[in-house]
């Protein structure tokens, strides 16, 4: 993988245990696993783009229909 042997992995685990503590370490590992899974899923999924163009809204008319003036 990264050229890490059993001794290196144990050393990293001991340092992580000292840094985070025994109770927090499973939560950190779970969060890291979820992040890696989400990253892999996002890189494998194709981008979702709309194939159909969205409709362009029509501008409102300038004709005032609420005035009491008679139209000419």
Sign of CA dihedral 38, 13, 26, 21: negative
Query: Does some domain include residue 52?
Result: no
Has this prediction a pTM greater than 0.75?
no
Query: How do the pLDDT tens digits run along the chain, 72 residues long?
Result: 567 788 888 898 888 888 888 888 888 889 989 998 999 998 887 766 656 666 677 777 766 556 566 665
Query: Does some domain include residue 59?
Result: no
Instruction: Give the model's pLDDT for residue 37.
Output: 93
Query: Does some domain include residue 13?
Result: no
Task: State which residues form the domain around 40.
Answer: 21-47
Q: Which two tokens stand for residue 53?
A: 């163009």
* DSSP letter string, 1-68: --S--HHHHHHHHHHHHHHH-TTTHHHHHHHHHHHHHHHHHHHHSPP---SSPPPPPPPPPS--SS--
Instruction: Give the model's pLDDT for residue 34.
Output: 94
How many domains does the structure of the chain reveal?
A: 1
Q: How many Cβ atoms sit within 10 Å of the Cβ of residue 16?
A: 14
């Amino acid at each position: 993988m990264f050229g890490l042997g059993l001794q290196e992995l144990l050393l990293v685990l001991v340092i992580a245990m000292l840094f985070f503590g025994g109770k927090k370490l499973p939560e950190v590992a779970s969060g890291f696993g979820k992040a890696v899974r989400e990253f892999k899923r996002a890189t494998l999924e194709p981008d979702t783009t709309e194939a159909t163009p969205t409709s362009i809204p029509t501008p409102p008319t300038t004709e005032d229909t609420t005035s009491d003036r008679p139209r000419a």
